[in-house]
Amino acid sequence: MERPSKPRRRTLVTGVIGVDTHIVGNRILSMALEKAGYKVVPLGALTPAEEFIKAAIETAADGVMVSSLYGQGELDCRGFRELCIEAGLDDILLYVGGNLVVGKQPWPDVEKRFLDMGFDRAFPPGTRTAEVIEKLDADFADRDSDHTSASR
């Protein structure tokens, strides 16, 4: 995979939010992100929203990847963007993915709910890691070109 030749590796915080112990998918994602050239700060299972933010501050992270597998993601993720803004991380890239809600709900509805919460992207169960990385690369490339055009 081609990586933009940035002097600094992009840093991503990963973890499973709330009282959720389903760590396997998150670990696979973290490994794939490392392999794709990202610096990963893995917080693991049972991570409160505040800990994602604190870790992102210390590591000057470029993005946070929130996993939720137990159906309560909507409750756990509510206010996540606001917490970031409160901590001065206004522009941080926020992704969320997993079994985000209980029951069979149409994905577009679920996706919209999480985008409305301030997540940049939401991913349904069964998403391939390659797809996530593709989106990440594209989003960061967009941001780079925005910054370049803004500074001209």
Catalytic residue set: 20, 22
- Least distance to other proteins from the beta carbon of 14, Å? 11
Q: Per CB under 8 A, which region of 5-13, 90-98, 110-118, 134-142 contacts other proteins? A: 5-13
Q: Is 21 in the site for other proteins (CB under 8 A)?
A: yes
- Least distance to other proteins from the beta carbon of 105, Å? 18
Q: Is 19 in the site for other proteins (CB under 8 A)?
A: yes
Q: What is the dihedral of CA 56, 31, 135, 148, to 10 degrees?
A: 50
* Spatial separation of the C-alpha atoms in residues 59 and 61, rounded to whole Å: 5
For helices 129-151 and 24-35, angle between their N-to-C axes, nearest 10 degrees: 50
> Among candidates 58, 65, 49, which has minimal Cα distance to 127?
65
Calculate ∠ Cα 32-26-37, nearest 5°: 25
Each residue 47-76 as x (binds other proteins by CB under 8 A) or -, in order, gives -------xx-xxxxx--------xx-----
Each residue 23-42 as x (binds other proteins by CB under 8 A) or -, in order, gives ----------------x-x-
